[in-house]
Amino acid sequence: MTKRKAAAFAAALLAAAAVFGLSFFGARMGAAGSGAAQAKATGDEIGTRSIAIPGFEAIQLKAGQHEQSVSFYNPAGNSCYFQLALILEGEELFTSDMIAPGEELHDICITQPLSAGVYYDARIRYRSFDLDSMEELNGAEVVTILEVET
């Protein structure tokens, strides 16, 4: 084997060992850190139960009116109530009453009518509450886009 081939083989072997080592280390870190990431993304971890938080890529609203039709819901598998708020640029446009697991909210009234356009700084804030004690559990904020049409 020539020196050039030997050097290439050694470099490939070293690279493979590095990839394996980093993959192993990354998998271990992912396993250790996944609970915190999942809790942040899904709201709350209670033993083996978790709270599913719906995400919305975009929400369509009608321009110039307070009354809006939406499809906000609390997944049936959750064991908590939801209270959610629709927020635009830091201002709450709407806050719901408690939404039980498996229930949907279709008609809302926002605090101010919006002009037609696309709003990128919108969020849905979820607060979760125990079904029995009504103790507040963890919450989450989901980024969304408001598409306001005439």
> Is there a single domain that holds both residue 60 and residue 30?
no
Q: What is the CATH number for 141?
A: 2.60.40
Number of structural domains the chain divides into: 2
At 44 the pLDDT is 41
How far apart are alpha carbons 90 and 132 in whole angstroms? 31
> Is there a single domain that holds both residue 21 and residue 73?
no
How far apart are alpha carbons 9 and 2 in whole angstroms? 10
> Is there a single domain that holds both residue 119 and residue 94?
yes
Read off the pLDDT of residues 48-82 as tens digits, 9 standing for 90 and up: 468 999 989 999 999 999 999 999 999 999 999 99
How far apart are alpha carbons 126 and 108 in whole angstroms? 16
Domain that holds residue 25: 3-42
Judging by DSSP bridges, how do beta strands 91-95 and 80-88 pair with one another?
antiparallel
> Is there a single domain that holds both residue 21 and residue 94?
no
> Is there a single domain that holds both residue 23 and residue 75?
no
> Is there a single domain that holds both residue 24 and residue 80?
no
> Is there a single domain that holds both residue 21 and residue 71?
no
Cα angle value 131/43/60 (rounded, 5°)? 95
At 36 the pLDDT is 28
Q: Is 62 left (phi over 0), alpha (psi -120 to 50) or beta?
A: beta
How sure is the predictor about 102, in pLDDT bands with cuts at 50, 70 and 90? very high
> Is there a single domain that holds both residue 33 and residue 96?
no
Task: Pick the more confident residue, 30 or 5.
Answer: 5
Residues 6 or more apart whose CB falls under 8 angstroms from that of 114 comprise 61, 63, 64, 88, 93, 146, 148
> Is there a single domain that holds both residue 60 and residue 25?
no
